[in-house]
Amino acid sequence: MNDILQTPIEYLKGVGPSRGEMLRKELSIHRYGDLLTLFPNRYIDRTKYYKINELQSRSLGSNSEVQIIGKIIHIKTVEQKKGRGRLVATFVDDTGEMELVWFQGQKWIRESLKLNAVYVAFGKVASFSNVFNMAHPELELLEEHKQSLRSAMQPVYPSTEKLTQKGISNRTINKMMQQLFVETQARFTEPLPPYLLDELKLIPKNAALFNIHFPKSQELLAKAQFRLKFEELFFIQLQLITKNLIRKHKIKGHPFEKVGEYFNNFYQNHLPFELTNAQKRVLKEIRNDLGSNAQMNRLLQGDVGSGKTIVALMCMLIALDNGFQSCLMAPTEILATQHFNGLTELAKDLNINIKLLTGSTKTSERKIIHEALENGELHILIGTHALLEDKVQFNNLGLAIIDEQHRFGVEQRSKLWKKNAIPPHVLVMTATPIPRTLAMSLYGDLDISVIDELPPGRKPIQTVHRYDSNRLKVWNFLKDEIAKGRQIYIVYPLINESEKMDYKDLMDGYESISRDFPLPHYSVSIVHGQMKAADKEEEMRRFAAGKTNIMVATTVIEVGVNVPNASVMVIESAERFGLSQLHQLRGRVGRGAEQSYCILMTSHKLSDDSKTRLETMCRTNDGFEIAEVDLKLRGPGDIMGTQQSGVLNLQIADLVRDRDILQLARHEAIKLLKKDASMTLPEHQTLRMVFMEMSKKKNIWNYIS
């Protein structure tokens, strides 16, 4: 039956070539099947019919749409001074009378209206000099109204300005949908096995599709929505989990069979502090992966300062114990250099060869690195995109670690895989906490480890919100902290490098801070995006070395600046930052043993969303909780950044609101694949067919890790 769904949309009765072209351009509707899955945004309840005298007392909002049964007893044209007049019809029922008004299409409407016939008028009601009127109502003869497929809950479909201009209104789309159900006889393939429908009490596909477009009641609509959301998320999870299983069966990894001298020596003699339980758990998960015959593909999430670097080093030592090289790739030079310095310090007594390769590495140095890599003398290479160059050839790469991987494209990552005959194990690290719901959908094919506790001795950062009017008190507090020998960050929003206003804010801020914290008692650094890289580095270095007390900066310090002595982060115009950015900035302090503070400065004018963000920041330091709130405020596309916002073009499900359905779908998908991984059992025939069909399409799964 589903072959008919492949029919080009212009062949649907009432569409034709020009409307077909508009639907293609505006809503990407190419075939019958695309129209079928154009799901309504909302519904208008048309179960109730009002009487005209009820319009006075009704407690509905002024914008509510109502329907009334009555007759037209009189039609007239009212001239207006400016422009054309309006057409006014007197509409009566047994309780009173009102006016129906048209400003456009008057000639055609006048000819089509029948006096004394019974109509259903539907639209928004307004009152003018105690007379109720309805402008441009939807009018339908009562007889036709009773016979049409129209449901009690009127669907409102997604639309665009161009469609409305071309006369493709909501009512037109509704008529097309009715025609589609007539032509397909509402018979659609049921992809889910009968036992699953029974177990979860899901309504059949036919009923779900009918009731999503023409629901007879709120209850049937809810059942249809649940069924279709579950199916959409279930197929995504099937894809992701299958991909993970196939990779584990097909892509053989290097089995790192032993944990040897390098690892044990470091663990027993050179560990700078006791590992947290979370770090131990994560290491165990990674060791299990590395020891199996399958290639590891794991995502390591850990908040700023949770100790991911030491876990990364210990994984590299296991690779080294098994005779393999490792690499760590970071998105920026600052971050790569910081990893290099951190790892070199940790491994200083281990007699291993670690090198850094970035865009600024000198040619002579590069040559030495390339040679040492190829002959196996170089154990660990840390760098930026420079690692991906064809010249960079490893002797035997066994482990690739990628930091903040959402900043790298798919092609870039696959280049790393090809550096070896057998693909290396992959560990992806991120300090951007990804909400569980998103992780399940975006990274469903990666195994996930989480470091969810901070190293001992770290005190949670105290976060407060202060208005600009409290500035004097805040400045006095900063002076007290500096007197104790601490350092301060003051960050200004730079929404756009070229915005003069932002730059001016920063420079004005810098000048007033320099006045309030004058030389010789205080020394102030400044860092922003318009400075030369060398000047930026120099300012950062002076601050890190304790030569300046205050660092005035734009968000360039968000990633990769580590100054344990900095104990206060002041964020100016905090309402202009997103939640995840505020959280990342706060992570720049609290790196030493001292109590640290984050002060969010704002004006008194705050939107509701801004208030929620500020309250969340003051309430919790938990990156995952913050990410969940962020997801609710911004939606999934924004959180993943523009390059991945196309990933989640879900037709009906919503990752934030439907997280329970997502968890159920994942649970059921895992259960099904455990029982029948290849989906070849008789009851899975249709499921397999639909699954194979969907796999051919470029959809969410093609974007994923």
pLDDT at 144: 85
How far is the C-alpha of 269 from the C-alpha of 77, rounded, in Å? 96
Q: For residue 71, give the 3-state DSSP assignment.
A: strand
> What contacts 9, CB < 8 A, 6 or more positions away?
15, 20, 23, 24, 29, 30, 31, 32, 34, 35
Return all residues near 492 (Cβ < 8 A) that are at least 6 apart: 502, 505, 506, 509, 552, 553, 554, 572, 573
pLDDT score of 467 more than 90? yes
Pairwise pLDDT comparison (547 vs 562), residue with the higher score: 547
Q: Average pLDDT in the 470-491 region?
A: 95
Q: Kindly indicate the confidence band of residue 307, based on its pLDDT and cuts at 50, 70 and 90.
A: confident
User: What is the pLDDT of the chain when averaged over all its residues?
Assistant: 86
- What band does 2 get if pLDDT is binned at 50, 70 and 90? low
Average pLDDT over residues 669-688: 94
Interval 112-120 mean pLDDT:
94
Contacts 24+ apart (CB under 8 A), 404-409: 404/330, 404/331, 404/335, 404/429, 404/430, 404/431, 404/432, 404/559, 405/429, 405/430, 405/705, 406/430, 406/432, 406/640, 406/641, 406/643, 406/644, 407/331, 408/329, 408/331, 409/643
Give the per-residue SS3 of 378-441. Answer: CCEEEECHHHHCCCCCCCCEEEEEEECHHHCCHHHHHHHHCCCCCCCEEEEEECCCCCHHHHHH
Find the mean pLDDT for residues 635-662: 64
pLDDT confidence tier of residue 672, bands split at 50, 70 and 90: very high
Q: pLDDT tens digit string along 167-185?
A: 898 889 999 999 999 999 9
Quick: pLDDT tens for 128-141.
888 899 999 989 99
Residue with the bigger pLDDT between 628 and 325: it is 325
Q: Which helix (H) or strand (E) holds 123?
A: strand 118-128
Asked if residue 452 lies in contact with residue 423, where contact means CB atoms within 8 angstroms, the answer is no
**Mean pLDDT, to the nearest integer, of 324-330?**
95
Q: What is the pLDDT of residue 499?
A: 55
Q: What is the pLDDT of residues 383-408, one digit of tens each?
A: 998 998 889 999 999 999 998 765 56
Q: Give the mean model confidence (pLDDT) for residues 304-322.
A: 91
564 or 488, higher pLDDT: 488
pLDDT by residue (tens digit) across 501-522? 556 678 888 999 999 999 999 9
Contact (CB, 8 A) for 380 and 326: yes
pLDDT at 673: 93
C-beta of residue 180 within 8 angstroms of C-beta of residue 35: yes
CATH architecture of 66-140: Beta Barrel (2.40)
529: buried, middle or exposed (CB in 10 Å: 19+, 13-18, 0-12)?
Answer: middle
Do the domains 261-451 and 462-620 sit in the same CATH topology, yes or no?
A: yes
Measured between alpha carbons, how far is 671 from 684 in angstroms, rounded to an integer?
13
Task: Sort residue 356 into left (φ over 0), alpha (ψ -120 to 50) or beta.
Answer: beta
- 318 versus 295: the higher-pLDDT residue is 318
397 token code pair: 């790469």
Q: What pLDDT is recorded for position 35?
A: 96
State percent of the chain over pLDDT 90. Answer: 51
Cα–Cα distance between 8 and 391 in angstroms, integer?
50
Residue 39 has what pLDDT?
A: 95
Phi, psi at residue 631, to the nearest 5°? Answer: -65, -40
457: left (phi over 0), alpha (psi -120 to 50) or beta: left
Residues 6+ apart with CB under 8 A from 581: 555, 558
Alpha-carbon span 560 to 557, nearest angstrom: 7
Give the residue-averaged pLDDT of 49-63: 70
∠ CA 362-367-368, rounded to 5°: 100
Query: If we measure between CA atoms, which residue out of 132, 171, 131 comes closest to residue 149?
Result: 171
Report which of 390, 406, 414 is spatially closest to residue 641, judged by C-alpha positions. Answer: 406
Q: Tell which CATH architecture fits domain 462-620.
A: 3-Layer(aba) Sandwich (3.40)
pLDDT at position 410: 57
Q: Where are the domains of the chain?
A: 1-46+150-188, 66-140, 261-451, 462-620
Structure token digits, residue 299: 């995502």
487-491, strands of its sheet edge to edge: 462-467, 597-602, 566-571, 487-491, 550-553, 524-527
**Residue found by looking up tokens 């899975």 in the block:** 684
pLDDT of residue 413 exceeding 70: no
Which CATH code fits 261-451? 3.40.50.300
Q: Which stretch of DSSP H or E encloses residue 481?
A: helix 471-483
Report percent pLDDT > 70 for the chain.
Answer: 89
CA proximity to 398, closest of 312, 266, 290, 267 = 290
Amino acid 643: pLDDT? 37
For position 6, what pLDDT does the model report? 92
Determine the Cα–Cα distance for residues 43 and 217; give it in Å rounded to an integer.
11
- What sign results for the dihedral spanned by CA atoms 358, 364, 370, 373? negative
Q: What does the alpha-carbon distance between residue 445 and residue 518 come to, in Å, rounded to a whole number?
A: 55
CA angle 24-140-64, nearest 5°? 80
Specify the amino acid at residue 675.
Answer: K
Task: Give the separation between CA 320 and CA 398, rounded to whole angstroms.
Answer: 9
Let me know: does 625 contact 205? Beta carbons within 8 Å: no
Question: Looking at residue 541, what is its pLDDT?
Answer: 84
Instruction: Check whether 492 has a pLDDT greater than 80.
Output: yes
Report whether pLDDT(650) > 70: yes
**pLDDT at 645 > cutoff 50:** no
Q: What pLDDT was estimated at residue 566?
A: 92
* Residue 145 banded pLDDT, cuts 50, 70, 90: confident
pLDDT at 557 over 70: no
Q: Which tens digit of pLDDT belongs to each residue from 354-363?
A: 999 998 899 9
Chain-centroid distance, C-alpha 701:
15
* pLDDT at res. 640: 45
The residue-averaged pLDDT of 25-38 equals 94
Pairwise CA distance, residues 435 & 614, whole Å: 19
Across the range 560-582, mean pLDDT stands at: 86
The predicted structure's pLDDT at residue 664:
93
For the segment 658-678, the average pLDDT, to the nearest whole number, is 91
Write down the pLDDT at residue 647. Answer: 45
Asked if residue 639 lies in contact with residue 433, where contact means CB atoms within 8 angstroms, the answer is: no
pLDDT interval class at 294 (50, 70, 90): confident
Whether the per-residue pLDDT at 259 is higher than 70: the answer is yes
pLDDT of 704 reads: 39
pLDDT for the residue 701: 39
**Top-confidence residue, 528 or 699:** 528
Give 260's strand partners. Answer: none
Of 474 and 273, more confident: 474
CA dihedral sign, ordered 588, 581, 540, 473: negative
Is 628's pLDDT higher than 90? no
Over range 52-60, report the average pLDDT.
69
pTM of the model: 0.65
Instruction: Summarize the confidence of residues 649-666 as an average pLDDT.
Output: 83
The per-residue pLDDT for 703 is 37
Residue type, 337: T
pLDDT value of residue 500? 56
Other C-beta atoms lying within 10 Å of the C-beta of residue 75: 15
For 182-222, how does the pLDDT look when each residue is reduced to its tens digit (9 = 90+)? 999 988 999 999 999 999 999 999 999 999 999 988 899 99
CA 272 to chain centre: 37
